[in-house]
Structure 1
Amino acid sequence: MFPSRRPAILLSLVTLLLASLTGCADSPAGKNLEQSLAADPKLKDNAIAFEQSATDPKAQNQTLAQLPSDFPSEIPQYPLAQLQQVTPPTAQSDGNSTTRWTSADPVNLVQNFYQKQFQDSNWQLLSQPTVDEVGGTFEARQNDLKVKVSIQPIQSNGTNTGSSSATPSPSQAAGEQNSGAATELTIEYVRDRSDTAAQPTANATPLAPTPTPTPTAQPTATPQANNPTNTSNSLVFSDINKAPTELRSHITDLAQLGVLALNPGGSKQNSSATSTQFEPNKPISHREFARWLIATNNQIYANNPAKQIRLATDSSQPTFQDIPRTDPDFPAIQGLAEAGLIPSPLSGDSTAVLFRPGAALTREQMLVWKLPLDTRLVSTATIDSVKQTWGFQDVAKIDPKALRSVLTDFQNGDTSNIRRVFGYTTLFQPKKSVTRAEAAATLWYFGTQNEGISAKEVLQAKPQQ
Structure 2
Amino acid sequence: MHISIRKLLQYAGHAFACLLLVVLAGCQNTGLGLSVESAVAPRSVESSNVSLPQDFPDIIPIYRPTILKDLQRSPLNNPTNVAARWSSKDSANLVVRFYRDRLAQNNWRMLLNPTESDRGTFLGQNRDLLVTVSIQPEADRTDILMQYVKSPQLLSSNASGNPTDPNSNSPSSSTTNPGIFSNPGLQIRSRSELPSQPFSGKFSDFDSVPAPLHAFIQDLTELGILQPKQGSQFEPNISVTRRQYVAWLVATNNRIYSNNPSRQIRLPQAAPDRPIFADVPVKDPDFSAIQALVNAGLISASPDPAKNLFKPDDPLTRETLVLWKVPLDLRRPLPTATVEAVKQAWGFQDSDRISPDALRAVLADFASGDLSNIRRSFGYTIVFQPQKPVTRAEAAAALWYFGTLTDGLSAQRVLQQERAAAKTPESQSSDRTVNSPSPQPSVTNSPSPSPGI
Question: TM-score w.r.t. structure 2 length?
Answer: 0.48
- Larger Rg, first or second structure (1 or 2): 1
Question: TM-score w.r.t. structure 1 length?
Answer: 0.46
